[in-house]
Structure 1
Amino acid sequence: MTKPKADIYPVYLIYGPEDFLIDLEVRRLLDRTLSEKERGLNFHLFSGEEESGKEIVQTAQTLPMFSRYRFVLVNDADRVDERKMEELLRYIQNPSPSTCLVLCGQTFGPWKKHQHVIEKVGKVIECGRLKGRALISWVKNRMAEKGKRLSEEAADYLVEVVGDHLYDLDSALEKAFLSVGEKRTVELSDVEGVASDVKVSTVFDLMEAIGHQDLKKALGILEKAIATKTIPFRKEEASKKIDDPVPLLLSMMAKQYRNLWRVKEMASHEKKVAEIVKSLGMSPWSVKRLIEQEGHFSESSLREGILRCHQTDLSIKRGHSQKELLMEKLVIDLCRPR
C-alpha cells in the first residue's frame, strides 16, 4: 500500500518522554477523525502491554459504524512483545484506510528498526522534552492559542519557577488566562500570583539568608535539606529524594557564589541585563534575582564564600569530620558579620 495523501494517515507512531505533547497529538487526531457523537461506537483504547496483537488488529480491520473512520489508540506500544510486534507489523503493511491506528509509547523502543515500514503508510512523531528557548516559545504560543499575548518576562518567570513539565505550565497558563479578564497581554505581575505556591530554589533561599547574615534561617534551611534529603528547585522536583544531598548542595552553593561574583563584576562594568543573560546562559528572570541578591554581598565576601566552599569540599573528601558538621560550620562562618 502506498502512503495516502489524505489529512489522516492510517497509522501513527507517537513517542517520547513528554506525555503532554503525546496527549495533545492524540487529541488533535481524534478531533479530526471522530465527532463526539461518533466516538461511542468507533473509539477503542488498548494497552500494548496487556491486550493481544490479534485483538488490536481485528478491531482495526473492522469497518466503522456510521462514521468515516474508526480510531484505535494503543498505549504502551513500546512494551509490545515480539509476537504482538509481528501481528501489528503485518497489519501496518496493509492497513485499513478507514481506520486511524495510533501507537503511543515513552520510547521508540522495538519500533525503531521498523520506522521505514510505518513511514511508508503513515507518520512517526517524536515528543521530546522542551528546553531553553523552545520551552519559552511553547509557553508563549500556548497562551497565544488562548487569544492573549504572554510577555517575555512573564514567560521566563513561569518556566523558571514552574519548571519544564508541560502539564504544570499549562495549568499555570490557564489560571493566568482566567485571572486577567479582558486584558490582552499577560504580564509578569499577572503570573506571579498564580505560581506563588511553587517552591523556589533551596540554594537561593540559603544564599539569601547568608547574605542577610540570618544564621537561624540559614541553619534551618540546611537542616531541612539534609534531613529530608531533598533539594527542591521547582514544584515538580519537590519530592525527589537524594541519597546524599551534601555534595550536591555544596556544589550548588559554590556555583551560586561564582554566579554572584560574575554578576557583580559585570554590573560594576555597567553591563545591561541582556548582556549578562547572554554571558551566563540563564533566563532573564534568574539573572534579575541574582542581581538583587548580589547587592547583599561584598566582593570580599564572595571571594571568601568561594574559598570556604572549596575548603569544605576538600575536608569532606579527606574525611576530616562528619560532612553534616562541616556544612554547618561552613554556614556559620559565612553568616558571620563581614
Structure 2
Amino acid sequence: MNTKSILADIKNKKLKPVYLLHGEEPYFIDLISDCIEQSILSDAQKGFDQSVLYGKDTDFSTIIAMAKRYPMMGEYQVIIIKEAQNLKWKDDELLLKYLEHPTSSTLLVFAHKYSKFDKRKKSYKAMEKIGLVLESAKLYEDKVSGWILEQLSANHRKIHPHAAALMAEYLGTDLSKVANELEKLQLNVPQDREIGTADIERNIGISKDFNAFELNSALAKRNSFKAFQIVDYFAANPKSNPMPVVIGSLGNYFTKILKYHYLPDKSASSAAKALGVNPYFVKEYELAARNFNRKKTFDVIHIIKDYDLKSKGVQVGHLTETADLLNEMIYKILN
C-alpha cells in the first residue's frame, strides 16, 4: 500500500490492530503516526485512551500490559511507540504472544525511524500477517522535484517544473523540510496562480538567478558570462552556496549528460524517464550533449572530481581560496 491509501483508510476507520512503520525516511513514518494520533480519537477520548511512549523509556512488558486493556471512553485505544528503533527488540517474546491474539479494540503503532526493521525476525512476519507494515524508503535526489509536483497536484496547485527543480536542488532529500516550505508557498501564493521561481526566491530565500541549478543551465548553454557571474555570487555568499553542494550538483548534472549520450532512445518521454527528470528539461540535456561531446563530458567529470579533492585539501597547489578554485574549475569545464 502507498502512503495515500494508508492515510485514507485511517481516516475512514479501516484500521489494523498493529502498525509497523519503519525505514530510513522519517517523513512518511511521522505522517502516518501523526494521522493516527490526531484522527482516531476525539480530544476528550485522548486523555483516557491514547498513550504515546518512547522506545528508550519503555519495554515490551509495559507496552503489552497497556495493549491488553480495553478503552474507557470510546471504541478504540491507541498506543503509539515513537522512536521504536530504541526498543530492545531481542526481548520481543511478549509481543509475539500478543500478536497471536491481539486486542481488537487496541491500535498498536511502532514508529521505527532512520533504519529498516530486521525482516528476519518472527515479530516482523507476525506484524506483517495481522497488521500493516510500511517501509519508508529514502527518496533519491532525482525524484524530489517529481515528489514536489505530486504533492502540490494533490492539493490542486501548480508549480512550474523549473521552480520545482530549483527547490529540489536547494533543499535536497529532507522531505520534512521540503514539505514545510511547500506549506509556506501554498499559504503565500494565490491558489489560482502557478508557483514560479520568483515565489521560491521571495518565500524560501533561494536566489532564482544565482544558484547551483542555474549554474548547470549556464554551463549547458556554454554561457560563460552567466556562469562566472553565478560563481562570483557564490564566492560572496559562501554559507548559502557551500562548495561541496555546488560540486555535488555539477557532478550529478554532468553524469546525466553522459548518460544522455548513451541513451538508445532520446525521445523526450524516454529520456526523461531514464534521467529521472521532468520532460520539460530534456531539451536542455540535448543542448548540453551537443555542447559537450562524450569525450569532453568524461573530461568534465574528471575535472569536477579533481576540484572536489582540492576543496577538501588534497593536492591543492597554489590555490587555496574557494572563489579561486570555483573560477578555475569553471574555466576548465568551459575550455
- Identify which of 31, 50, 53 aligns with 1:24: 31
Residue 108 of structure 2 is aligned to residue 101 of structure 1: yes
Q: Which residue matches 2:316?
A: 324
Return the alpha-carbon distance in structure 2 between the equivalents of residues 15 and 91 of structure 1: 20
Max Rg structure: 1
Q: Let me know the Cα RMSD of the aligned residues.
A: 4.9
Identity rate, percent: 19
Secondary structure of 1:231's match? helix
Scaled by the length of structure 2, what TM-score is found? 0.67
Alignment gaps of 5+ in structure 1: 1-5, 234-248, 266-270
Return the alpha-carbon distance in structure 2 between the equivalents of residues 132 and 83 of structure 1: 35
- Mapped contact 1:213–1:335 kept (Cα < 8 A): no
Query: 1:96-127: per-residue Cα shift (whole Å, max 9, x none)?
Result: 11110001112343464223211332111121
Cα offset for 1:220? Answer: 9.4
Q: Which residue matches 1:113?
A: 121
- 1:88-237 superposed matches below 5 A: 88-106=95-113, 107-110=115-118, 112-114=120-122, 115-131=124-140, 135-183=144-192, 185-197=194-206, 200-201=211-212, 204=215, 211-212=224-225, 231-232=244-245
Query: 1:56-112: per-residue Cα shift (whole Å, max 9, x none)?
Result: 111112221211111101123233225641122222222111110001112343464
Deviates more, 1:108-117 or 1:72-81: 108-117
Return the alpha-carbon distance in structure 1 between the equivalents of residues 105 and 111 of structure 2: 19
- Identify which of 67, 75, 80 aligns with 1:73: 80
- Mapped contact 2:30–2:111 kept (Cα < 8 A): no
Secondary structure of 2:133's match? strand
Cα offset for 1:211? Answer: 2.6
Secondary structure of 2:31's match? helix
Secondary structure of 1:28's match? helix
Question: Structure 1: which amino acid aligns with 2:65?
Answer: Q
Return the alpha-carbon distance in structure 1 between the equivalents of residues 84 and 67 of structure 2: 15
Cα offset for 1:277? Answer: 4.8
Scaled by the length of structure 1, what TM-score is found? 0.66
Deviates more, 1:75-84 or 1:18-27: 75-84
Secondary structure of 1:325's match? coil
Return the alpha-carbon distance in structure 1 between the equivalents of residues 75 and 244 of structure 2: 53
Residue 51 of structure 2 is aligned to residue 44 of structure 1: yes
Cα offset for 1:21? Answer: 0.7
Alignment gaps of 5+ in structure 2: 1-12
Question: Structure 1: which amino acid aligns with 2:112?
Answer: G
- Identify which of 51, 54, 58 aligns with 2:65: 58
- Mapped contact 1:151–1:187 kept (Cα < 8 A): yes
- Mapped contact 1:12–1:123 kept (Cα < 8 A): yes
Q: 1:164 to 1:215 in 2, by over 3 A?
A: closer
Q: 1:220 to 1:58 in 2, by over 3 A?
A: same
Cα offset for 1:332? Answer: 4.4
Return the alpha-carbon distance in structure 1 between the equivalents of residues 249 and 318 of structure 2: 16
Query: 1:142-179: per-residue Cα shift (whole Å, max 9, x none)?
Result: 22444434444443333233222211211221122112
Return the alpha-carbon distance in structure 1 between the equivalents of residues 242 and 305 of structure 2: 18
Q: 1:291 to 1:136 in 2, by over 3 A?
A: same
Deviates more, 1:153-162 or 1:193-202: 193-202
Q: Which residue matches 1:240?
A: none
Deviates more, 1:42-51 or 1:67-76: 42-51
Return the alpha-carbon distance in structure 2 between the equivalents of residues 15 and 9 of structure 1: 16
Secondary structure of 1:232's match? helix
Return the alpha-carbon distance in structure 2 between the equivalents of residues 334 and 133 of structure 1: 23
